[in-house]
Structure 1
């Protein structure tokens, strides 16, 4: 039965109150080309529950699942093994207290988890503090840029070779803040572009945004960039899309990053068709008042017993709107819990071991792939578990599609991420995690060699 609580009279009264003559006026800011003019062609207006279930099963059967094929996709979303205990533990009653901890006395489970989560993120990033999580990596990246602007009172932003979706998120938000973004495009050369970024820093720069490792898998020299940024009075924002890399790489905070934003999907959170994911955010303690989101703290109650509270909430739901640092209305609580459980199960030594397995498998795969005639490895200065191949004379999008039809998900074609950049069309970003077996790697090597022959 359809549930329509508003009558036509109710709608007319509401429109009259806000001064709109018709509902379409509420969407006048949406570009005409983005509006759906009517019902979607080919989609029935109604169907039985059983018919819909059958139709959805048939559609799902067309998918090539990450678990059912050699899988080498990355570029911001990574497949790692998630212990079964993660899913079991996030469903326990201890954690099923109030999702949003407005009343700490009845939300101790949620608050304690977030407190422990913050500790883990701060240690992982090498920062003094971390917040209770954000929506995802791209919005966390923008919040870091906005935070840097508040601290430095500048509006110039230099962005290195980061994931284009992160860049587009920042560009979209900058339309409303008037920040001037200057972005450095990636190039299929060994030089990671550190000097090019440094040359773009001036006295109007609020921050330099560097992905670590970057979109091509290269590892920028954060210390060098941090020193150059600080010399101009700017901050360094490091963006980490693959937190497992920090099991081997030195933390961004230890290398001079002032703010670290990232994506936590790799740990505890599955690929999930692109979401929900988990934004990570850390910073130096002296900037805590400018940090977005929420901060949970530890205290004692009137009886001296350990307890947890919301220490800082700089969002518009808690304080005066004009004083808020962000309008983010919640954190990714369930994903943060899954992340924290996975991190706890791994421990420090486990994370280091997982990172080393990833790196070793990626190096072995890169060596085999680079030996194929016509294939060059871009990352000659090193990488973690992700690297870029140049398929000389071949559009990587076409090659990747042909391999997918053969049941091998070979990597992310740069032409897909940068459709207007002809110089990147031959680039294929390949990710190798602990889930890639020797047989998977050999299958990719053999199939790619045949396709390029």
Structure 2
């Protein structure tokens, strides 16, 4: 380690400045400021960091060299999916979210926030109409974060501690859920158990019936599943869960809601999912937006950790927009709130609002039909490649599972060859020989044919 000195971009980093700040607070050391952080989450010593980049020139050079190593999926033909997809984002969406009225404000006065609150209300209203659920919170960081918070809502609502989820879940989403499930208080700890699924991620109802009991807080299913299967037994699953007194949490990709029944019509008590398909580009390094929705039940509303937007009649008889149940959030009550939520994705609510307004009901139906057709074509194309097995070719949305065991090749080597020789990103590996390939409205029939030809060349 280099000697301790002020960092050029951190003006409060000198020892003298820190001593002054502590004296102002009436403290001898910083420990009281971090008392809420458990000891297990702290480092006992500083990591062995490289020397600081002390000039802006050096910093700019380093960042440019680092970014130059990146290969954006959008610059090639990409069949990556699994939670972040390459959807078309209309130019007007980028124009709207780039406007200073939405881009720069975080919090202001009730009068200055009026327009933004109205836009947020439009977001919750439109998404609620898609989901057939009346109450929608402002977005959280991701689908996984939404699921974790909804699971904790179910624990508080039922007093039960078991959560049943599909065995075939996105590993990253499951990891986020497991993080939310843990608690130092045994009474608040969630036990997450996996229910067997079929080859495309749909829950086995017979297995679920054998696992469910009076101690289950909620059953979670995804429609479509991570592996692409459309959950045709969602209503029966809800009946089974409700008979045991458990809640039902539905995980939903909203881009399919123009062609499948919404969770509100299938008996779900809570719905979670991602808003990334609703006008948000593929990107990394930050949240892409997850949602929580439910019926407008005061008992459920009282457990929301998110910001909730509402309207009311003003004193002069007009319509006003604002936040409700603010005290439940971490903004209103800090660590005493229902859960932690942050504002890094609120701009994406504006993007989603513009996108949903542009598409309208017919647009969502057209989008869904196109993706269904492209998915079926992708399944047929993959199944036609010698040695490749596709377990299910119909009843899929966006994602198709391909098994390469019969080719004698593993997914990693196939994907490397596709990228190096054909400038395309292949599917996400499930295991050594299976991968999930994804398509959206951005993929043409020619793109899918090109993938089929490339795979045949790679595997020849």
Shorter-normalised TM range = 0.7 to 0.9
Normalised by the length of structure 2, the TM-score is 0.86
C-alpha displacement of 1:228: 0.5
Q: Distance in 2 between matches of 1:450 and 1:377?
A: 19
CA contact (8 A) 2:393 2:400 kept: no
Q: Name whichever of 115-124 and 165-174 sits farther off.
A: 165-174
Q: Tell me the equivalent position of 1:394.
A: 409
Normalised by the length of structure 1, the TM-score is 0.88
C-alpha displacement of 1:140: 0.5
1:414 is the counterpart of 2:434: no
Q: Distance in 1 between matches of 2:382 and 2:282?
A: 25
C-alpha displacement of 1:444: 1.1
1:294 is the counterpart of 2:301: no
CA contact (8 A) 1:97 1:106 kept: no
Q: Tell me the equivalent position of 2:385.
A: 372
CA contact (8 A) 1:70 1:443 kept: no
C-alpha displacement of 1:232: 0.1
1:126 is the counterpart of 2:132: yes
Which residue among 361, 369, 389 is the counterpart of 1:356? 369
CA contact (8 A) 1:192 1:219 kept: no
Determine helix, strand or coil for the equivalent of 2:402: strand
Q: Distance in 1 between matches of 2:46 and 2:376?
A: 47
Determine helix, strand or coil for the equivalent of 1:123: helix
Runs of 4+ in 1 over 6 A off after TM superposition: none
Q: Distance in 2 between matches of 1:439 and 1:368?
A: 11
Q: Tell me the equivalent position of 2:433.
A: 426
Question: Could you say what the CA RMSD is over the residues aligned between the two structures, in angstroms?
Answer: 2.7
Q: Distance in 2 between matches of 1:272 and 1:370?
A: 30
Which residue among 175, 179, 190 is the counterpart of 2:182? 175
Which residue among 386, 404, 413 is the counterpart of 2:419? 404
Equivalences for residues 99-248 of structure 1 within 5 A: 99-100=106-107, 103-160=109-166, 161-176=168-183, 177-184=188-195, 188=199, 192-220=203-231, 221-240=233-252, 242-248=253-259
Q: Distance in 2 between matches of 1:401 and 1:59?
A: 21
Q: Name whichever of 128-137 and 144-153 sits farther off.
A: 128-137
Determine helix, strand or coil for the equivalent of 2:308: strand
CA contact (8 A) 2:159 2:217 kept: yes
Residues 227 and 89 of structure 1: CA distance in aligned 2, closer, same or farther (over 3 Å) = same
1:29 is the counterpart of 2:36: no
C-alpha displacement of 1:388: 0.8
1:39 is the counterpart of 2:45: no
CA contact (8 A) 2:140 2:342 kept: no
Q: Tell me the equivalent position of 2:5.
A: none
Q: Name whichever of 344-353 and 294-303 sits farther off.
A: 294-303
Which residue among 321, 341, 347 is the counterpart of 1:334? 347
C-alpha displacement of 1:352: 1.1
Q: Distance in 1 between matches of 2:133 and 2:9?
A: 51
Q: Distance in 1 between matches of 2:88 and 2:18?
A: 50
Determine helix, strand or coil for the equivalent of 1:374: coil
Q: How many residues align?
A: 434
C-alpha displacement of 1:97: 7.5
The CA deviation string for residues 311-370 of structure 1, in whole angstroms up to 9 with x for no partner, is 222213324854x32222436210110011111111111111111111111211211111
The CA deviation string for residues 205-236 of structure 1, in whole angstroms up to 9 with x for no partner, is 00011111111111222111101000000011
Residues 54 and 20 of structure 1: CA distance in aligned 2, closer, same or farther (over 3 Å) = closer
CA contact (8 A) 1:97 1:107 kept: no
C-alpha displacement of 1:384: 1.1
Q: Distance in 2 between matches of 1:19 and 1:78?
A: 43
CA contact (8 A) 1:99 1:333 kept: no
C-alpha displacement of 1:46: 2.4
Q: Distance in 1 between matches of 2:165 and 2:128?
A: 23
5+ long unaligned stretches in structure 1: 416-424
Residues 211 and 185 of structure 1: CA distance in aligned 2, closer, same or farther (over 3 Å) = same
Q: Distance in 1 between matches of 2:128 and 2:66?
A: 42
C-alpha displacement of 1:278: 0.7
5+ long unaligned stretches in structure 2: 1-7
Q: Distance in 1 between matches of 2:259 and 2:271?
A: 17
